[in-house]
Amino acid sequence: MNVTTFFENIIAMYGENLLWYAGFAFPFFFIFWIVGKKYFKKIRIQETERANLHHFKHDLGFSASTFLIFAIMDVCLLYLESKGYTQLYFDITDYGYLWLGVSFFIVLFVDDMFFYWSHRAMHLPRFYKFFHKVHHESTDPSPLTAFAFHPSEAVIEQLMHVVLPFLLPLNFGVMLAWQIFSMSNNVLAHLGYEIYPKGWVKFPLLQFKTASTHHNMHHQLFNGNYALYFTWWDKWMGTEFKDYETRHEQIFERKNIKKSNEGLYSLTVSAIRQEANDAFAIEFSNVPSVFRDFSAGQHLTIKVTIKGETLYRTFSISSIPNSYNFLTLTIKKIKGGKATNYLAENLKVGDTLEVTAPSGQFYLNPEPANQKHYVMIAGGSGITPIYSMIGTILKFEPKSKITLLYANRTSRSIIFKEKLEQWTKEFPAQIEVKHFLSEEENPQNAIKGYITRISLEEMVNAYGKNTLEFYLCGPEIMTNKLIEDLQYLGISKEKIHRELFLITTQTQASTSQKAQVSAKVFGKTYQFETEEGKTILQSGLEQNIPLPFSCQSGLCGMCKMKCTEGRVTMQNNQVLSVPDIKAGYILTCQALSQTEKISIQNS
């Protein structure tokens, strides 16, 4: 074979591989991710959708390079076969029908074994970024992800297809069946939807064939469920996630989960415990999967009815996502706070609360190959989302480092004090905690005073401004000042994240006109009229309309709604991005009506 023929064969094989890919991946992607997206939502594995156009482009690009690697290896195999070096054969009678079937199962077993151990090896920190990091770009995989490999990983993935024909006599029909089984299995493993029926994971024989949930959990949780064809290696080696069967079964039980007319979930309180002076934790066990798949840092809204008055209050989630089958909210009582004080004084184990699904733009999704240095800054109850983020990093980003700067009045008001101490002992090389106490004389193991520019400057000088990423949550005055200090020290906006993070403002306005507002809140529609000079939220609350809100300053985003009719202007906006505004989203606490009719609905 001359060079020209060699490259012509590679081009031909490359085109053939792309057709195979298009024939398997594209139909499933089109059916489940585009046309039937709403219909198949009931069997979607991850209820929180994280995949977007960026991931699809990424997967297509690397899949294209993967199939070029495959083509080169296939052409080399065929060339060596033409020279008689392999044990490939065409005539079934050469080895008989029994060997035809046996050899097929042998190659599946060997390929599955090789995949398991090579896959585990590629997850080792020293190898991960050179081989497997590209594939894990998609934590919410789609059929397009099935062959999105780094070229180095593509060689490993195809290795058995090249090696086994030298070791075993294999019929070309077996090779073809192997390719079809492997490709279809790979696409289904990355489907993002569970098409294996209920009971599959418990049936005596079927349980050893991986369901789609099996590999999807690997993309979510990284360190476990390494197999692709069969579950036995994970079972034998103890690397199968313990709740694999539970998660698979829960997908089919979602239809039994009842929601209110407002679209709220009912969660049962399983435990209540004191966390600090004025803080308490509410734990819900056996929660639906949507409360396990959230991103660290997100929040949810609770509906509270007090003496006939309905209130909606938003609280950050303090539990670590995808770790346990429970959800925890840690709440600090506020002086004069109706909802928080009512919950603290009246809530009991066994009570049910109506809540929304997790949401929010202040969040962190881990990447095991990251080697970042996070500086977490919290004030008071602002530790709640930060705590969830820290736990997530410790669990899923073992090579990253965390420095927590935590401000409180006294040591008695430190929330999660014991757990933070436990983490510093358990992960001494990964996490450092610095407490700041403003109202305690001679504090032990803490700094007297507030978090200041000097504290930040020490961090920047010690580690360099380009190596640090900052996450802030706390009182507005504190976070505003510290963000000014960070920008003064040369930290770019892209490396500063906060619950009240300034993104953009839409406009400034102080005038408005009366308007008839139609507000759809949690599935129920309310009608009310705004007053001149008052925001939509102000007017709504005065007329007992249960609009969601929290800070009322345009800083938290809890009152975010979509304006589907009419026009408003906003006095202040420190949450909505330009795409949000173009899509029609507004902050009702800052929105002044500019037209006679306004229609808004929950985002």
Mean pLDDT of 451-469: 93
Segment 431-445, tens digit of pLDDT: 999 999 999 988 888
How sure is the predictor about 506, in pLDDT bands with cuts at 50, 70 and 90? very low
> What are the CA-CA distances from residue 424 to residues 135, 222, 385, 391, 403 (Å)?
32, 23, 18, 12, 10
Contact 520, 588 (CB under 8 A): no
pLDDT at 47 over 70: yes
Mean pLDDT of 127-136: 93
Helix axes 172-189, 212-221, angle to 10 degrees: 60
Q: Which residues contact 147 (CB under 8 A, 6 or more apart)?
A: 21, 25, 62, 63, 66, 67, 154, 157, 186
Q: Which residues contact 36 (CB under 8 A, 6 or more apart)?
A: none
Nearest by Cα to 278 from 152, 153, 381, 155 = 381
Please state, in angstroms and rounded to a whole number, the distance separating the CA atoms of residues 17 and 11: 10
Mean pLDDT of 114-131: 94
373-498 and 265-355 share a CATH fold? no
Mean pLDDT of 251-260: 83
Contact 506, 581 (CB under 8 A): yes
Mean pLDDT of 285-311: 88
Q: Which residues contact 482 (CB under 8 A, 6 or more apart)?
A: 377, 451, 453, 456, 472
pLDDT at 33: 96
Higher local confidence (pLDDT), 550 or 569: 569
Higher local confidence (pLDDT), 200 or 221: 200
Segment 58-104, tens digit of pLDDT: 999 999 999 999 999 999 999 999 999 999 999 999 999 999 999 99
Long-range contacts of 489-493 (CB under 8 A, 24+ apart): 489/453, 489/456, 489/457, 489/460, 489/465, 490/460, 490/465, 491/460, 491/465
Segment 234-243, tens digit of pLDDT: 999 999 998 8
pLDDT at 293 over 90: no
Nearest by Cα to 418 from 269, 279, 271 = 279
Long-range contacts of 203-207 (CB under 8 A, 24+ apart): 207/231
How sure is the predictor about 277, in pLDDT bands with cuts at 50, 70 and 90? confident
Mean pLDDT of 382-401: 93
DSSP assignment of 441-478, as one string?
SS-TTSEES---HHHHHHHHHHH-TTSEEEEEES-HHH
How sure is the predictor about 208, in pLDDT bands with cuts at 50, 70 and 90? very high
What ranges do the domains of the chain cover?
3-251, 265-355, 373-498, 516-602
CATH topology of domain 373-498: Rossmann fold (3.40.50)
Higher local confidence (pLDDT), 557 or 231: 231
How sure is the predictor about 324, in pLDDT bands with cuts at 50, 70 and 90? confident
Instruction: Output the pTM of the full model.
Output: 0.74
Mean pLDDT of 398-408: 95
Please state, in angstroms and rounded to a whole number, the distance separating the CA atoms of residues 529 and 397: 50
Please state, in angstroms and rounded to a whole number, the distance separating the CA atoms of residues 590 and 509: 9
Mean pLDDT of 399-404: 95
Mean pLDDT of 526-531: 93
Superfamily the domain 516-602 falls into: Beta-grasp domain (3.10.20.30)
- Say which DSSP state 283 is in: E
Q: What is the CATH number of domain 265-355?
A: 2.40.30.10
Angle at 341 between CA 340 and CA 344, to 5 degrees: 90
Mean pLDDT of 276-290: 90
pLDDT at 325: 77
pLDDT at 555: 60
How sure is the predictor about 501, in pLDDT bands with cuts at 50, 70 and 90? very low
pLDDT at 2: 81
Nearest by Cα to 301 from 367, 224, 356 = 356
Q: Would you call 48 helix, strand, or coil by DSSP?
A: coil
Which stretches of 377-534 are DSSP H helices? 383-396, 417-426, 453-463, 476-488
**Computed over its alpha carbons, how large is the radius of gyration of the chain?**
28
Please state, in angstroms and rounded to a whole number, the distance separating the CA atoms of residues 405 and 456: 9
How sure is the predictor about 572, in pLDDT bands with cuts at 50, 70 and 90? confident
Both tokens of 490, joined, read 């040369």
Chain center to CA of 400: 18
> What are the CA-CA distances from residue 318 to residues 283, 300, 383 (Å)?
10, 11, 9
pLDDT at 38 over 60: yes
Mean pLDDT score across all residues of the chain: 90
